[in-house]
Amino acid sequence: MPYEIEHALPDPLPADPMPLFHAWLDEAFAQRIQPNPNAMTLATVDADGQPSARTVLCKGIDESLGRVTFYTNRQSRKGMALKHEPRVALLFHWDAFDRQVRIEGRVTQTTDQESDAYFQSRRIESRLGAWASDQSKPIASRDELLSKVVDAMARFKVSLDDMEAEEIPRPPHWGGYHVWANRVELWVGGPGRVHDRARWERTLNTSGDGFSGGPWSVTRLQP
């Protein structure tokens, strides 16, 4: 057949999309073809109904819970949007592999312990930047921003000659979010734009500080 795809979606489709999604991400990391394979577009809706999108980094996938984790400044535009409307859409696109993953779901904040642990794993430059930058807020010049970085270095006794610190605590406005998926679409590019698509959906129920998901239902989609 002229429209065959070498790495098409399985047939029959798996009952749960998360292991295949995770395997795709692991393969993208292993092949080292595409920079930042964990980069994902995060779409939110502001309080005035204005949608916006930006790229953030996926910092965890929990297959059993069906959720994805990222971290950011919670006082940023996206943080304010998530406070107003804790529902999002995510998009991973690996152009080098002709694969795409779309996720829609509900959002909860990570615990302080989770946020602290991830913050301490970041490079010191990134930890200083989290203190220096009031993300999404206006500033007069680049020099003024860099001056704020210098102030943060002084606060935590870090010098340019010795970029080390015993510990830089996590800013109280900085932390993570879990995206609990209720809809996942996997896409494989095909010749003649006869792509291979499938969508999984499930119901989310409130459970403690997060959600529990019902069984996934799956259907193959026309491109």
Q: Are 63 and 3 in contact (CB under 8 A)?
A: no
State residue 186's pLDDT score: 98
Domains of the chain: 18-122+171-221 (2.30.110.10)
State residue 165's pLDDT score: 66
State residue 6's pLDDT score: 80
Distance CA 192, CA 48 (A): 40
State residue 216's pLDDT score: 98
Distance CA 98, CA 113 (A): 37
Distance CA 99, CA 63 (A): 19
Global confidence as pTM? 0.94
- For residue 136, give every residue at least 6 positions away whose Cβ sits within 8 Å of its Cβ, in sequence order, or none: 73, 75, 76, 77, 78
DSSP 34: S
Q: Are 158 and 124 in contact (CB under 8 A)?
A: yes
Mean pLDDT of successive 10-residue stretches along the chain, which has 223 residues: 83 97 97 94 97 98 98 97 98 96 98 97 93 94 96 88 77 97 97 94 94 96 95
Question: 109 in helix, strand or coil?
Answer: strand
